[in-house]
Structure 1
């Protein structure tokens, strides 16, 4: 069944994006041999094979690895299952066109003949250009669906785009990389990232801010292009996805997450300068923490979650205990007991409080009349709205709005 899904996904992606998509197993690479000094494409495949080897040694299930080849092309590989040896690779592709100022250093670096330059230029013209963030998002979605693992996948990078002079083999080069502190730095970075996401999941703004101040996210850790503004936008878009996932695991309903993440995606893309973009990280963290704090339902049972979500999304309707109970398929008496047990208040008290909280936000952020706000929160009896508001807040809606003007 899983293989059918993978094959279907591969065929669908091949028709939807202009990049080669392949499903492979380790033995398929083990059986391949290419001579680097034979024809041009055998040479390309030889170097790709040498890039795949370190990936196969270190890949982990639900991890996405960005391989940057000696030709500065990208391949993104999703390890669907290390145990079952299932991998999905998208590539090659480039984010920016390869120009002559890159072609000749590549030729020099790999000790190729200059007559390879024309072939390389034609090769690069055949390589599609696509935003790496898009590829990462595609593989993240596939990983979540195929593996049923809703945790956001990690992104590893194997960057072989800058090689030493060819007096050493790839194996020696990879071995030397392993001796450096690169992997330790990666481990530390992912641990810091996981901690930040856990604070967002719990809606803890203070700890999230402290964690970000201690371990700020750097553009050097994300896909690189020559455009620093584009780099930062890619970084923020990736962070937006991770923060959204963290809030989801914190119990926030997707309807709220889609609204917030959509707003951030638009704001990121519309930003014109690094100064504006560099101020967005902490704002995003704060907004997702507040969202989790306000809308998390993770501490409640599934039935009560359904009831709360129905109330929250239908606050302008004529909500009654009977209508909520009907929605979740329970008797009004049984739902009332569950609600009281888990929230400490009865359903009507919760509904009225939610209505007054919503009205406060509308009084702060709109110029709607008191009557219009009452209608929007399901209280078209203005007198009753005033009574409930004063009971909850201590002053009338009109007095509350006037107090905002005086501040």
Structure 2
């Protein structure tokens, strides 16, 4: 059987798309035992699948472009295109066929014809029509009758299901789905990591533990920045996979350690409900039972996402979804230039309304909360790092060190420098 191709005059899609179409139609044909033929826009046979089960191939009239068969196929293909869905029709011999038009980039590329098949039962009229349409030699009678009687008989409802299935096969092959593409991308990423593992193993290379990446992940989760946390986790898992040469047990031990730290931080920063506590316990237990790197990655991502979101909303226990989202946005973007207006635009709401609602729900203004978030972050940097005050102010979201010191002293009662002397570890 030739590979599925399109006519030279048609602007062909990528080889990947053509392969997906061929693979889908072959799967349909093998599992249903129904032959499928692809005709180009001129009514010429371009590709056949399961050809040995195709009854039409017994007869020359089927391939004659001037015959009643060709005209019947052409009109059915046209109708399938106009309908935009599978079209079930009865050929001149009384056998059933299913037409599904192939449309790519707004251009009709041809039509898939499934069949012929027998619907309901092998009627005497079908045999009569077959012989009347074709100039059949007497010696061929037994062979043709036996072939007809060996064909599978489908009920009308089954034919309807076949039509839906064929249409879905064609549509799924040419339609890009972001969700499945994302999953497939993750699979390819894991495959790439596996190949890197083998290469590093052969070269006997050693890699240092990515402490910096781990610290960035912990800080990101503490900030409630879910998207950044998940991105950092993905990088960390990739490096751990290389360091441990794919040993899932060793990788799992390190990931469980990180998740334990983060769970404790979540408990300290927020008042966890019984349900949340049980959820963490369940997620950690599931993570501990992971048997593959992919499973470990998915479970760790889910746990990190949950912890990050709990921390992000820990300063608010009200019921307003707008304020919850506003707080999450602040926690994720406090290092950037954000304002009441930018957050309001993000939430598609009026700045004045957000200002009033924020003060009402939080007991402080938007600006005060933003500054409080930035100052709390600066306290962590002052206590845990030795970076200079300019960098502390920048990493906390303040553009001006003087303004940072002023706000810090107002909120904490002492200067950033004095705070570091008292709290530095």
Q: TM-score, normalised by structure 1?
A: 0.36
Q: TM-score, normalised by structure 2?
A: 0.35
